[in-house]
Structure 1
Amino acid sequence: MAASLPLLALRAFVEVGQQGSIKAAAQTLNVTSGAVSQQIRLLEDRVGMPLFTRERSGLRLTEAGAGVHPALLEAFGQIEQAMLSLQQSTARQTLTISTVATFAASWLVPRLGRFNRLHPDIEVRVEATSALVDMHRGRVDIALRHGLGVYPGLHVTRLMAPVLIPVASPALLAGNPGPAQPQDCLDFPLLHDADRADWLLWLSAHGVGKDPRAERGTAFEDDFLLIRAAEAGQGLALVPQEYATEEIAAGRLVQVMDKPWPARFAYYAVTRVEAMQRDAVRAFMHWIMQEAGGK
């Protein structure tokens, strides 16, 4: 293996060759004159020849030293330029946003271009997962979550409460007038969210008493899967209105009645308290609050 380069000694050599003085070189390098002298001696010992001669006006490069000095000067100049480029590239801030796949696909991603145009220096990475995120470990900067807003020890901002609407595949309703009143939904298979809460709350909000049929049917961990099951004609689904916009426009789903009701849960932006000191985090939080205000 090749011996390591004496970079400190070479840097001292280049600076002394430029300045013609150990004292001036030490001031430029922000070290002591003794440290520069030691590095020059180490380099001369390593190459086995003197690199400077002492004159009344200062130090002058020997013929051997003068022969390599321009190349080393250029090399350290290139290193400085490379470091500058690296610093400039890392100046672009990165934000990692965690949210569920359905919210990312139907709401966040279509709007994200507006944030990118406002903040071209901030790179946003979206992680779509329904798994719980440990915000204190630092990998995720902001989590967008659907819940009750109880996130102890974290900075929590309420964004919006989605409006739930009942939808179904046209095939499921073929030859059937479909439900006319909320209680009529109980005559169809119901597709549920993970905790089976939304149908019970929606029916109760529309005056439908407790009925065991409201708890029957398949439950899905993610709203994306819930919508796919409804498209496949497996039953009625109660989903956030914005999630089904594309499917309704394309005719893959229909809204079975115009009786929306705000969901029990809301969407929240969650981050570490100290992260709010970062310009990029504050910029994203300000932007998403404005977007959520306009739905």
Structure 2
Amino acid sequence: MDKRLRSLALLRCFEASARLQSYSAAAEELAITQAAVSQQIRNLEEQLAVQLFAREGRKMRLTKAGLTLFAGVTEAFATLSAAFNGIQTEPVAGVLTVTASPSFCSRWLVPRLWKFSALHPDIVVRALASPQYEELRNSDIDVAIRQGDNFITKVHQEVLLVDPVFPVCSPQIVQQVKLSSPHCICDMQLVEAINPGLFSWRNWFAKAQVEMQPGKLSWIEVTTWEMGINAVLSGHGICLSAVCMVQDMLDNGMLVKPFNIQIEPGLKFSLLFDEESPRIARIQVFKEWLKSQLITDVA
């Protein structure tokens, strides 16, 4: 074997510096110091006994030898990447691990997964309920569905759904309290998630132009949307919910929406995945199904 091929780490540093035309930019991409980049380039030049870069002011210009090596290294790295993809990319069939918040997972995703399985029996979906964001790169998790749309991450993210938020309660409560106007809600037990953010009763009352009197209100605080829904199903007051969490219950009459006053824009749900994942073919199939299912739900 050509002994010069033992210097792949140096060649990687050279390729980044030549492509970005900057030692500092190469250092940032490679997560090392600029001094380390400079040293590695010097080491490579000493091994090859040629000058690869010439300094022009603050810029580094490739020499003729550097241009020749850069062309060869670029082609070689592209060939290696193609080979890696060829052996690492998995087929569509297999296991797909999806994580979502506990409420979205149990109220929307899991009840519909049988439809995905019917269409794609060769893909086994493993659904994980988790309240926090997990790093998707270099992990066993393929897809994350998370509330929000501005995650600090290098993986692909796109908004799946923007869902309005409104009050829901049991039909029995509506008959008992006689909810003739939004003001009547002040006489009910209010169920609210801890740290509700924009989707609080305070914001809904402002939207409904109803003055809150905190000292006279009765509250229950819960940790998840699903817990709030379960509370009102049991006849305990009224809660705020997004459409995706309760659409089936509204359709079958288990819950009612007493007023059309909504907090909008509502809950945002985003889809996140690593575009370089070896399971990308499987991820794309699941992504397309998700989008089609959401369109069906809205229709």
**TM-score (norm. length: structure 2):** 0.59
Task: Say yes or no: does 1:202 pair with 2:189.
Answer: no
1:258 paired residue among 257, 260, 264:
260
Equivalent residue, structure 1, for 2:226: 224
1:192 corresponds to which letter in structure 2? E
Contact 1:227 1:239 in 2 (8 A): yes
Query: Within 2, Cα distance between the matches of 1:130 and 1:264?
Result: 19
Task: Give 3-state SS (helix, strand or coil) of 2:193's partner.
Answer: coil
Deviates more, 1:111-120 or 1:222-231: 111-120
1:285 corresponds to which letter in structure 2? K
1:189 corresponds to which letter in structure 2? Q
Task: Give 3-state SS (helix, strand or coil) of 2:283's partner.
Answer: helix
What is the CA deviation profile of residues 179-214 of structure 1, one whole-angstrom value per residue up to 9, with x for unaligned ones?
513x43233221112313312333333344665469
2:186 corresponds to which letter in structure 1? L
2:184 corresponds to which letter in structure 1? D
Equivalent residue, structure 2, for 1:95: 96
Equivalent residue, structure 1, for 2:81: none
- How far off is 1:293 after superposition? 3.2
Task: Give 3-state SS (helix, strand or coil) of 1:291's partner.
Answer: helix
What is the CA deviation profile of residues 242-290 of structure 1, one whole-angstrom value per residue up to 9, with x for unaligned ones?
3223434554432222333435430111122422872111221222123
1:127 corresponds to which letter in structure 2? L
Query: Within 1, Cα distance between the matches of 2:170 and 2:215?
Result: 20
Task: Give 3-state SS (helix, strand or coil) of 1:219's partner.
Answer: strand
Please show how residues 77-156 of structure 1 align to structure 2 within 5 Å: 92-156=93-157
Query: Within 1, Cα distance between the matches of 2:173 and 2:286?
Result: 42
Please show how residues 160-199 of structure 1 align to structure 2 within 5 Å: 160-181=161-182, 183-197=183-197, 198=199, 199=201
For structure 2, the 5+ residue unaligned runs are: 1-90
Please show how residues 280-295 of structure 1 align to structure 2 within 5 Å: 280-294=282-296, 295=298
Equivalent residue, structure 2, for 1:83: none
For structure 1, the 5+ residue unaligned runs are: 1-89
Contact 2:186 2:212 in 1 (8 A): no
Contact 1:93 1:121 in 2 (8 A): yes
What is the CA deviation profile of residues 165-188 of structure 1, one whole-angstrom value per residue up to 9, with x for unaligned ones?
21123443443212513x432332
Equivalent residue, structure 2, for 1:27: none
Which structure has the bigger radius of gyration? 1
Contact 2:165 2:241 in 1 (8 A): yes
Equivalent residue, structure 1, for 2:236: 234
2:293 corresponds to which letter in structure 1? E
CA RMSD of the aligned region, Å?
3.1
The aligned length equals 206
**TM-score (norm. length: structure 1):** 0.59
Task: Give 3-state SS (helix, strand or coil) of 2:222's partner.
Answer: coil
Query: Within 1, Cα distance between the matches of 2:221 and 2:176?
Result: 26
Please show how residues 68-83 of structure 1 align to structure 2 within 5 Å: none
2:234 corresponds to which letter in structure 1? A
2:231 corresponds to which letter in structure 1? A
Task: Give 3-state SS (helix, strand or coil) of 1:274's partner.
Answer: coil
Query: Within 2, Cα distance between the matches of 1:132 and 1:150?
Result: 9
Task: Give 3-state SS (helix, strand or coil) of 1:138's partner.
Answer: coil
